[in-house]
């Protein structure tokens, strides 16, 4: 049986950013404040059932998964997880930068990178590994919920090792906006979402922060309880003509 509260470590844009507002308005929920929001008129025009279309991602808030939802391991506390997030953010690293687009991924519509980057894959892998000590062991029921028979052998290995199948070489960054839709239904919705996204003029997105989300109980939505900016790794010094750092 799943135990609560549950926690997740996600990328979430800052509350005052255009990207955060874009996602929160479309999901009808702001994970920063916990407030419900009215749906945009253009979303309702293209899909009068937009509340149902967006119901799955609404539960989690607008985010990209770095460490999937987990119950805390025996003996671990929320305060310790909070401190571990702060320590993780203080480790200097190369900050991933992606070119974001709206597209479909496994039948969902999401904001995804035009191409993966080594830095982004490293950040995700580091989150999976470093925070795994806080994860309660996967129960038989939790494993069954992932439908392991429908996963690849590699994904089942990840599920058993890390509690989630879509990690490491199976990781795909995505900020989900809809539930799974058939191809015919997706087309006009993608067009609408791309038009809204184009208004952000967001040609590059730095994945430069992590957020700790908490879910109180099974029917509750996840909400943000902590945010940290990632420390930027200094670029290597360049040498001048005299051989000294320039």
3 state DSSP class of 163: coil
Residues 172-225: tens digit of each pLDDT:
999 999 999 999 999 999 999 999 999 999 999 999 999 999 999 988 999 999
> Would you state the pLDDT for residue 235?
60
Instruction: Work out the pLDDT band at 242, boundaries 50, 70, 90.
Output: very low
Distance CA 180, CA 99 (A): 23
Can you give the pTM of this predicted structure?
Answer: 0.93
pLDDT band at 233 (very low <50, low <70, confident <90, very high): confident
Tell me the two tokens of residue 22: 């874009």
Residue 12 has pLDDT above 80, yes or no: yes
- pLDDT tens, residue by residue, 117-135: 999 999 999 999 999 999 9
Domains of the chain: 6-229 (3.90.1140.10)
Residue 1 confidence (pLDDT): 66
Tokens for 79, please give them: 């305060």
């Amino acid at each position: 049986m799943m135990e609560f509260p549950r926690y997740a470590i996600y990328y979430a844009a800052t509350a005052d950013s255009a990207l955060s507002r874009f996602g929160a308005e479309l999901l009808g929920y702001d994970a920063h404040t916990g407030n419900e929001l009215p749906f945009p008129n253009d979303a309702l025009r293209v899909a009068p059932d937009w509340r149902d279309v967006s119901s799955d991602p609404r539960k989690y808030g607008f985010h990209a998964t770095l460490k999937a939802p987990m119950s805390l391991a025996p003996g671990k506390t929320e305060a310790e997880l909070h401190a571990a997030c702060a320590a993780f953010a203080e480790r200097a690293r190369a900050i991933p930068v992606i070119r974001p687009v709206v597209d479909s991924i496994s039948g969902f519509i999401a904001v995804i990178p035009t191409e993966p980057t080594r830095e982004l894959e490293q950040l995700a892998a580091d989150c999976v590994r470093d925070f795994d000590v806080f994860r309660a062991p996967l129960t038989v029921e939790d494993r069954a919920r992932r439908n392991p028979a429908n996963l690849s052998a590699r994904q089942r290995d990840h599920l058993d090792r890390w509690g989630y199948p879509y990690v490491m070489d199976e990781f795909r960054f995505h900020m989900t906006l809809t539930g799974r839709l058939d191809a015919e239904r997706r087309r006009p919705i993608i067009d609408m979402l791309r038009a809204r996204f184009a208004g952000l003029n967001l040609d590059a997105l730095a994945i430069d922060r992590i957020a700790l989300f908490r879910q109180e109980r099974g029917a509750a939505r996840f909400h943000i309880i902590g945010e940290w900016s990632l420390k930027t790794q200094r670029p290597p010094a360049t040498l001048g003509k005299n051989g000294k750092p320039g």
